[in-house]
Amino acid sequence: MKRQALSSKSKHGGFKTTIGLLLVLSVFFMISSCKKAEPEYLPVSDGFEVISHTELDMQDISDQLMIFPDDPNSFDYHDYFDETTQLTSGILPFPIAHDVVKYTSTDNKGAKIQLTGLLIYPYTFTGKVRGPIVSVNHGTQALKRLAPSKWKKAGWKDWRDFPEVVIADVMASLYGWIIIMPDYQGMGDDIGENHPYCVRERLAAATADMVQVAIKATSNNQHQWVKWNGQTFLYGYSEGGFVTMSAARELEARNVNLNGVVCMDGPYDLSGTMLDVMLRDTVFPVPYFLPMLLVGYNTMYPSAFEYGAMLKDPYKTDIPKYTTGFYDTEVIDSKMPPDKIIKKIFTPAFIDSLKNSNSQAQKIIYGNNSYVNWTPKSKMLLWHCINDDCVPFGNFTVAKKRFTELGLTNVDYVVWPAVTLDPSMGTVHVTVAPRAFYEGSRWIYNHTK
């Protein structure tokens, strides 16, 4: 559905002006409707069980943005908003709705389970909004309560922990896309099991299942407010990039057509680049990565990743105790070596097994690499910042080498130049995230035309 165009604004520094203009137009749009949307009257939408409904306008989105720092020297979430507004030529924003949903997927053992996620969609009162489905797959979160479906219960100070929900809101409002955000196993309402961190098949299943339910729920006039236009995209940064690549291969195996797959700064090469991170003698800025990986792998492969065999004291007790989804990253980090040399938690015997390509542990890690034993059919963007300090650039180079050897012509490779660390963000990996989100969404936008 076409919308009227907004007047143009300056390239940079016009965030407050843009917000004001969008607010006026959004209020006019809402008032002119003469009624209020009530999608909560449809608690089940052909596969999705809607358990909570919230409506947002541009004021709500701007309120979320204001919790993020506005650094004039870095491309931040305010710049993400400004650039997206420019990219969409200033078209009138849609009001949007958040539906917290449940859908059928599988748990860590492969048994059926109801997982939670967030469905974000635009709406109007003059007909259904027709748009693509975009699965926005979130990055690493240590806390179950910071999964996308928990946004509504979060306090204002916690909004900074939901950056992907904020960018999804912008995409739904300005692009008119139908956004889905799976929580994954062990996150959101799935409080009875551990999160299978970087376990390819489990995370792929959770995401692929939500994609297929979303297609069904928004096709053939099933949904009251939106209609799927036949295009499907996957999009993710960090762990979300790993999930995106993993879900793409799963959906291709299910013969689901994908129009684009956006993988940004993900740990695709677990047995090479990321194993080097685990075993290096230098500081790693986010130590909690390793406990999350080990707890996930102990959950899925207990014989090869048994805590007593892997870990020295006190780590063999502390890591499973505090990496449960109920303690934040600061607590987990406090249980790691103070000098942040993370390999110090391992027993010598386990270090030897990780270095042995024939060991069970090494074979399992290799089998979870998202890029191996697969020839992507879908159009893909592989995007990585060259000086990423948490998910090293080697993940990109190894995946690119593999895809190039396969002779693939459907992959766009983007090497983002080094960025300067924004101290308020803590790491280069977090500093560059808003830029990645913008570049990835722009790539999708160009493939929706």
Distance CA 108, CA 197 (A): 11
Q: Are residues 96 and 205 in the same domain?
A: yes
What's the domain count of the chain? 2
For residue 71 the two structure tokens come to: 């650094």
Q: CATH number for the domain including 291? A: 1.10.260.160
Do the Cβ atoms of 447 and 260 come closer than 8 Å? yes
Burial class for 180, CB neighbours closer than 10 Å (0-12, 13-18, 19+)? buried
Query: Which are the contacts of 376, defined by CB distance < 8 A and separation ≥ 6?
Result: 248, 249, 252, 261, 403, 408, 410, 411
Q: Where are the alpha helices (DSSP H) in 280-384?
A: 289-300, 307-310, 315-322, 329-334, 348-355, 360-367
DSSP 147: S
Identify the pLDDT of residue 12.
41
Identify the pLDDT of residue 90.
67
Per-run averaged pLDDT (10 residues), the chain, 449 residues? 34 44 43 40 66 93 91 93 89 93 97 98 94 98 97 86 95 97 98 97 98 95 94 98 98 98 98 98 97 98 98 98 97 98 98 96 98 97 98 98 98 97 92 98 95
Identify the pLDDT of residue 376.
98
Sheet architecture: strand order including 260-264? 44-45, 48-56, 96-106, 112-122, 178-182, 129-137, 226-237, 260-264, 380-385, 411-416
Residue 7 lies in a domain: no
Identify the pLDDT of residue 170.
97
Q: Are strands 260-264 and 226-237 parallel, antiparallel or unpaired?
A: parallel
Residue 8 lies in a domain: no
Q: Are residues 20 and 49 in the same domain?
A: yes
Distance CA 17, CA 70 (A): 15
Identify the pLDDT of residue 221.
87
Structural element, H or E, at residue 202: helix 200-217
The phi and psi torsions of 373 (rounded to 5 degrees) equal 55, 40
For residue 366 the two structure tokens come to: 């290799």
Residue 9 lies in a domain: no
* Domain that residue 436 falls in: 15-269+379-448
Give the pLDDT confidence of 17-45 residue by residue, as tens digits. Answer: 444 444 444 443 443 333 344 444 444 55
Identify the pLDDT of residue 159.
85
